[in-house]
Amino acid sequence: MDAENSTDLEARSIVTTRVIDAPRELVFDAFTNPDHLTRWWGPNGFSTTTHVFDMRPGGEWRFTMHGPDGRDYENHIAYDDIVWPERIAYTHGGDKGAVQFKSTVTFDDLGGKTRITMRAVFQSKKNRDWVAETYGAVEGAKQHLGRLDEFLAESAFVISRSFEAPRALVWKMWSEAEHLAKWWGPKGFTWLSGKLDLRPGGVFHYGMRAPNGGEMWGKFIYREITPPERIVFVNSFSDATGNTTRAPFATDWPLEVLNVLTLSEEDGKTTVTLRGEPINATAPERDKFKAMQSSMRQGFGGAFDQLENYLKEVR
């Protein structure tokens, strides 16, 4: 059979895979928010301008990629299927006469990390080889996912602390409201109330009083719970009735921060690692989150100090 008419899927495909040190929800979010896409899409040296973005089956993304050589490349993506947060399928076109291909992006959850696979399928092996040779598509796809990895890493907040306590006990500190009331929150704040429903889709809604007398409310919305190893939750500020609100200290703080909490035990000690990153956030909100990481580290450090002291009391 002539190579140009070959139906061999592998011969007509460019497949690129990379494991990214970020939760699947965050990786998927980077593909679904135009503010994020413009900050990492394309090979090294490229930038992107979005003209139309309508991400839904039947929707489209029209954009211009600006190459390091000064040339502009018009692109068009028509979305065929979207399964959050597992898969995106689309048809890709571009400048007049450009080769069209169908692409499927899959996101595999690896327990806090994500294996992302991009498969581009061309109409023929000849078209596939021409794009690979003319545009360096194989290397370009690797750089493409490398830029995604860098984008996610640069804005992530990560903090770890080891505690002289078994994991089962530390897990209780995070999963029972009576314990959270004793340590969660900034230093100097006192507990008002807390209600916890620990299940995927459940909510932990809590209120605290600041040293100046003002009230501050927040909530967790749980995504995943794997006792005693892992909790995935979205953290937001709220009002007393549980409605999501803006942060009291900054109007450009992200409304939602996805957190992945992991607990590991060795020789009777438990290491707690918390990784947080904004979701559904604008570029200024992500920049604000990044700019305040020093303050966040101090705040979480204070909360962990309180946890450490409380663990001494309950052991």
Q: What is the pLDDT of residue 5?
A: 46
The answer to whether 3-155 and 157-314 have equal CATH topology is yes
Distance of CA 202 to the CA centre of its chain: 20
Query: Is residue 97 classed as helix, strand or coil in its secondary structure?
Result: coil
Reply yes or no on domain 3-155 having CATH 3.30.530.20: yes
* Distance (Å, whole) CA 16 – CA 22: 18
Query: What pLDDT was estimated at residue 298?
Result: 93
DSSP H or E run through 126: helix 125-135
Domain 157-314 of CATH type 3.90.330.10? no
pLDDT of residue 98: 65
Which 3 state secondary structure label does DSSP give 190?
Answer: strand
Predicted pLDDT at 22 = 87
| Helices 137-155 and 125-135, packing angle to 10 deg | 60
Query: What is the model's pLDDT at position 172?
Result: 97
Residue ranges of the domains in the chain?
Answer: 3-155, 157-314
Token pair, residue 31, equals 């593909």
- To 5 degrees, how large is the angle CA 274–CA 280–CA 285? 80
The pLDDT of residue 35: 85
Q: At what angle do helices 137-155 and 24-32 cross, to 10 degrees?
A: 110
Query: Phi/psi zone of residue 27: left (φ > 0), alpha (ψ -120 to 50 degrees), beta?
Result: alpha
Question: How many helices and strands (H and E) does the chain possess?
Answer: 8, 15
Q: How far apart are CA 62 and CA 123, in angstroms?
A: 22
Contact 286, 155 (CB under 8 A): yes
Mean pLDDT by 10 residues, the chain (315 residues): 60 95 88 90 95 96 94 94 96 74 95 92 92 90 95 89 97 97 93 95 96 95 94 96 95 95 95 92 90 93 96 91
Cis peptide leading into 85, omega within 30 of 0?
yes
Torsion of CA 41, 47, 49, 55, to 10 degrees: 0
Distance of alpha carbon 315 from alpha carbon 270, whole angstroms: 14
Distance (Å, whole) CA 239 – CA 205:
9
pTM of the predicted model as reported, rounded to 2 decimal places: 0.76
